[in-house]
A and B are shown apart, each in its own frame.
Chain A
Amino acid sequence: MAGQTIDALGQFKLHPLFGEFGKSIGFSQSELMMIIATVLIPVLVCLGMRRKAIVPDRFQAATEMCYEFVHDMSLSTLGPAGKGFFPFIFSLFFFILTGNYLGLLPFSFAFTSHIVVTVTLALLVFIMAIIVSFKYQGLKFFAHFMPEGAPVAMAPLLVPIEILSYLSRPVSLSIRLFANMVAGHVMLIMFAAFTIMLASSFLGVAIGGFLGIFPIALNIALIALELLVGALQAYVFAILSCMYLREAIGH
């Protein structure tokens, strides 16, 4: 990072871990963070519910709040069928949330900032929605691509548009999460680099170093913003998955 250029995207580079073994199976820090996230969520939930007190302590109350939040969300959007999809939505939401938040720790890596990961998650939801809609609606699923009440003569124009609109769902779902995370992390590293550039500039360490406090102050505010964005994006991803599934169940 030192010097006159800002290497804003170098932080998203993947490095193989664990020497030759990691190199041969392509195990990078992204996979490591995913495994940490996957282990962390059940461990935290189990630890939080260990005492099962009627009057919960803070840890248990936080766990129950998380559970109830996703439970309410899936039931209010999906109706009674939401109970079946709740485990899926819960793991989706907390996998993304934990990934976003783990990425904010120093020396860690935000795996949600890679479009491969977000596209995979979005395709998971998309394919699942298709399977669910075939199960619930059968071949009437295809009737959705023709808007009701439209004249049949318009079908050659309307049907492709509807199909494209349907196909654009996983794209927008994944780009939104990915773009938010990349933008946040690039901004963080830009302001961190400003501090170093100021300190090593012609102003000298005394003045430049002092001025470098301001980018750091801004970075603290940005971390707060990133906490908000991380939660919001996980929420948006989960709620949109719920809405797609609701449409798949519908009628």
Chain B
Amino acid sequence: MNNEEKKKESFDSFDQKLAAFEKRVNASKNKAHTEISDNNSELWRIVFRAGVELFSGFAVGVAIGFGLDYWLSTKPWCMIVFSILGMAAGVLNVWRIVKPSDISTK
């Protein structure tokens, strides 16, 4: 009994030591995964991501507009409306990436 308790205790302290060691060695592990770092080398990643988001919103808008035009034969009205909405959606996507964290809007 006593022996087992001792064993458990030693295991616990081992876990604590391991956690402390990992914290020391691998500091990046403790960072939250979602936060955007302001590290300069990661900046191009965010820029590229923002560009793709901007483009994809527009692409979806054009695709939907084209599809609706084709379906309803209302050329070119749906295309015009939905590409503008798509651009707005792209800007919204970029805003969600770059918005400061202390602003709570969606």
Residues of A within 8 A of B (CB): 72-73, 76-77, 144, 147-149, 160-162, 164-165, 167-169, 171-172, 175-176, 179, 232, 236, 239, 242-243
Answer whether A168 and B60 are a contact pair too, CB < 8 Å, given A147-B105, A175-B55. yes
> Are A168 and B59 in contact (CB-based, < 8 A)?
yes
| Sampled A-B contacts (7; CB under 8 Å) | A72-B29, A72-B33, A76-B32, A160-B82, A161-B85, A165-B90, A168-B90
Answer whether A175 and B89 are a contact pair too, CB < 8 Å, given A76-B33, A232-B45. no
> Are B34 and A164 in contact (CB-based, < 8 A)?
no
> Are A171 and B33 in contact (CB-based, < 8 A)?
no
CA separation between A232 and B90, bound complex, in Å?
23
How many residues on B have C-beta within 8 angstroms of the other chain's C-beta atoms?
Answer: 26
Closest chain B residue to A68, Cβ basis: B29
Set B33, B34, B48, B88: member contacting A161, Cβ < 8 A? B88
Set B33, B86, B89, B92: member contacting A73, Cβ < 8 A? B33
> Are B89 and A164 in contact (CB-based, < 8 A)?
yes
> Are A168 and B88 in contact (CB-based, < 8 A)?
no
Closest chain A residue to B81, Cβ basis: A160
B44 to chain A: closest CB distance in Å? 11
Counting CB contacts under 8 A, is B52 at the interface?
Answer: yes
CA separation between A148 and B105, bound complex, in Å?
8
Contacts of B86 in A (CB 8 A): 164, 168
Closest chain A residue to B86, Cβ basis: A164
Contacts of A239 in B (CB 8 A): 33-34
CA separation between A76 and B61, bound complex, in Å?
33
A149 to chain B: closest CB distance in Å? 8
Contacts of A165 in B (CB 8 A): 57, 89-90, 92-93
Which 7 A-B pairs give the minimum distances between C-beta atoms?
A: A164-B89, A172-B56, A171-B56, A165-B89, A168-B56, A168-B57, A168-B60
> Are A176 and B33 in contact (CB-based, < 8 A)?
no
CA separation between A129 and B90, bound complex, in Å?
20
CA separation between A77 and B31, bound complex, in Å?
12
Contacts of A243 in B (CB 8 A): 34
> Are B59 and A164 in contact (CB-based, < 8 A)?
no
A229 to chain B: closest CB distance in Å? 10
Answer whether A161 and B92 are a contact pair too, CB < 8 Å, given A77-B34, A243-B34. yes
> Are A179 and B52 in contact (CB-based, < 8 A)?
yes
A65 to chain B: closest CB distance in Å? 10
Contacts of A179 in B (CB 8 A): 52
